[in-house]
């Protein structure tokens, strides 16, 4: 989904603890994405959209027949795929079954990170070069632990600016509270995020044109419904396939994730976007909560080089100032947005955009500049991707 990571690996593991162990071991090499509970169709679909050439499959005595059948089925459909089995290293029968099914190697759960990474490097030298798509739209994520309507307010305005630049744009509003982007614009929708997941295999231009909510100016909005499953209950694999499909139809997607609790699905968005805007204000309590999540992710080896700090409701006379916040988060600051409480309240209450209500206000101008920056970055990425692809192939 992005060019931040050198490789994407897929894994079917016993539980989240095993997945996190594997993610930590391979953090220097790329992103490990959960491939769900072991569905062959889901695994093959993920291989197609992630261009992964290496898959980890966990084995255990109780399900070894089905797990080996999965390995055989995957290799029959994708002969060039490399599969590494995971399991109890002291169980010789598991090792034999894995090798007979076609696994390239076997890794015992809990092995040292250096051993796992070394194995992957050795396998990588023998695997064919992967051809990632160069036609995916840009993906910007707005995330912060705060749960309020301002995340939807900012996301909506940034997406509108990108749309106005000439790029077909989608606002994917998964922030909490749910559906605030629609409410802010006075819009209704009969098709929501959960519907898109259920119709994943039917997601084409016709469905998007007929079902996705469209606001003035052409911006499309796909938001949460009250009945949709929480994001943390959404399969990371299913989510990856949905966003990959959407990126083939939109030149830019702005995702509002403000207020979401930490989850594998949230980390999937964060790890694979082109630009992460970490949303905070000067409230020390909220900053601490943000830093707790940020530091946890860094400890787990998540790559956050694409993250920049967005400071909202900024007051120059109040500490901590922007420089202090930037140092605390270890990020460059992309923008500081003025407090402007009256303008914000009028926009929320009247169902009008800031561009209509107060086009010359500092907040409006700052959001316009931020949206233009995102649009320009997306255009530059579209030009640069073929060069990146050549470097990628040369590194194999």
- On whether both 280 and 154 belong to a single domain, the answer is yes
Rounded to an integer, the average pLDDT of 101-114 is 95
- On whether both 192 and 341 belong to a single domain, the answer is yes
- On whether both 272 and 151 belong to a single domain, the answer is yes
What's the confidence (pLDDT) of residue 131? 54
- On whether both 359 and 259 belong to a single domain, the answer is yes
Rounded to an integer, the average pLDDT of 60-64 is 93
Q: Rounded to an integer, what is the distance from CA 223 to the centroid of its chain?
A: 16
Model confidence, pTM: 0.87
Q: Over the stretch 282-323, which tens digit does the pLDDT of each residue have?
A: 999 999 999 999 999 999 889 899 999 999 999 999 999 999
What's the confidence (pLDDT) of residue 383? 55
Could you tell me if residue 1 is inside a domain?
Answer: no
CATH at residue 309: 3.40.50.300
- On whether both 101 and 192 belong to a single domain, the answer is no
What's the confidence (pLDDT) of residue 148? 93
Q: Which of 126, 154, 170 is the last residue of a domain?
A: 126
If one compares 37 and 96, the residue with the highest pLDDT of the two is 96
Rounded to an integer, the average pLDDT of 224-234 is 94
Could you tell me if residue 227 is inside a domain?
Answer: yes
Q: Is the pLDDT of residue 1 over 60?
A: no
Could you tell me if residue 3 is inside a domain?
Answer: no
Q: Which of 79, 106, 126 is the last residue of a domain?
A: 126
- On whether both 77 and 191 belong to a single domain, the answer is no
CB neighbour list of residue 273: distance below 8 Å, 6 or more residues apart? 1, 2, 4, 139, 140, 141, 255, 306
Q: Which of 101, 126, 151 is the last residue of a domain?
A: 126
- On whether both 145 and 116 belong to a single domain, the answer is no
- On whether both 266 and 192 belong to a single domain, the answer is yes
Q: Over the stretch 177-208, which tens digit does the pLDDT of each residue have?
A: 999 999 999 999 999 999 999 999 899 999 99
Q: Is the pLDDT of residue 385 over 90?
A: no
For the chain, the average pLDDT equals: 91
Could you tell me if residue 24 is inside a domain?
Answer: yes
- On whether both 221 and 369 belong to a single domain, the answer is yes
Q: Is the pLDDT of residue 389 over 50?
A: no
Could you tell me if residue 132 is inside a domain?
Answer: no
**How many domains does the chain fold into?**
2
Q: Is the pLDDT of residue 132 over 60?
A: no
Could you tell me if residue 133 is inside a domain?
Answer: no
- On whether both 273 and 247 belong to a single domain, the answer is yes
What's the confidence (pLDDT) of residue 372? 97
Three-class HEC string of the chain:
CCCCCCCEEEEECCCHHHHHHHHHHHCCCCEEEECCCCCHHHHHHHHHHHCCCEEEEECCHHHHHHHHHHHHHHHHHCCCCEEEEEECCCCHHHHHHHHHHCCCEEEECCCCHHHHHHHHHHHHHHCCCCCCCCCCCEEEEEECCCCCHHHHHHHHHHHHHHHHCCCCEEEEECCCCCCHHHHHCCCCCCCCHHHHHHCHHHCCHHHHHHHCEECCCCCEEEECCCCCCCHHHCCHHHHHHHHHHHHCCCCEEEEECCCCCCCHHHHHHHHHCCEEEEEECCCHHHHHHHHHHHHHHHHCCCCCCCEEEEEEEECCCCCCCHHHHHHHHCCCEEEEEECCHHHHHHHHHHCCCHHHHCCCCHHHHHHHHHHHHHHHHHHHHHHHHHHHHHHHHHHC
Confidence of residue 377 (pLDDT cuts 50, 70, 90): confident
CATH at residue 54: 3.40.50.2300
- On whether both 296 and 381 belong to a single domain, the answer is yes
Could you tell me if residue 382 is inside a domain?
Answer: yes
- On whether both 91 and 146 belong to a single domain, the answer is no
Q: Is the pLDDT of residue 4 over 60?
A: no
Domain that includes residue 231, residue range: 138-395
Q: Over the stretch 253-291, which tens digit does the pLDDT of each residue have?
A: 999 999 999 998 999 999 889 999 999 999 999 999 999
């Amino acid at each position: 989904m992005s060019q931040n990571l050198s490789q994407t690996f897929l894994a079917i593991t016993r539980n989240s603890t095993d997945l996190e162990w594997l993610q930590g071991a391979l953090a220097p090499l790329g992103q490990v994405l959960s491939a769900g509970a072991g569905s062959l169709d889901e695994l093959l679909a993920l291989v197609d959209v992630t261009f992964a050439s290496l898959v980890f499959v966990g084995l255990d005595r109780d399900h070894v027949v089905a797990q080996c059948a999965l390995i055989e089925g995957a290799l029959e459909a994708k002969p060039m795929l490399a599969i590494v089995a995971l399991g109890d290293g002291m169980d010789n029968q598991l090792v034999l079954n894995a090798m007979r099914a076609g696994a390239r190697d076997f890794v015992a759960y809990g092995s040292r990170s250096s051993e796992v990474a070394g194995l992957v490097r050795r396998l990588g030298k023998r695997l064919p070069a992967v051809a990632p798509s160069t036609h995916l739209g840009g993906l910007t994520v707005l995330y912060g632990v705060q749960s309020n309507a301002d995340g939807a307010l900012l996301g909506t305005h940034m997406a509108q600016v990108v749309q106005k630049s000439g790029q077909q744009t989608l606002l994917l509003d998964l922030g909490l509270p749910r559906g605030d982007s629609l409410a802010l614009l006075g819009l209704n929708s009969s098709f929501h995020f959960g519907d898109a997941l259920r119709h994943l295999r039917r997601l084409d231009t016709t469905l998007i044109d007929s079902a996705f909510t469209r606001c003035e100016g052409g911006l499309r909005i796909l938001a949460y419904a009250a009945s949709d499953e929480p994001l943390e209950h959404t399969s990371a694999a299913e989510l990856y396939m949905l966003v990959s499909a959407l990126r083939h139809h939109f030149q830019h997607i702005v995702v509002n994730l403000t207020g979401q609790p930490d989850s594998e699905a949230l980390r999937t968005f964060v790890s694979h976007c082109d630009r992460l805007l970490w949303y905070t204000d000067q409230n020390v309590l909220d900053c601490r909560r943000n830093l707790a999540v940020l530091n946890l992710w860094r400890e787990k080896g998540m790559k956050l080089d694409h993250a920049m700090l967005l400071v909202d409701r900024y007051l120059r006379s109040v500490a901590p100032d922007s420089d202090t916040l930037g140092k605390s988060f270890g990020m460059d600051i992309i923008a500081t947005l003025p407090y402007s409480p009256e303008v914000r309240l009028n926009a929320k209450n009247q169902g009008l955009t800031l561009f209509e209500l107060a086009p010359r206000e500092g907040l409006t101008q700052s959001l316009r500049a931020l949206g233009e920056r995102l649009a320009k970055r997306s255009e530059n990425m579209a030009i640069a991707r073929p060069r990146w692809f050549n470097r990628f192939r040369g590194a194999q």
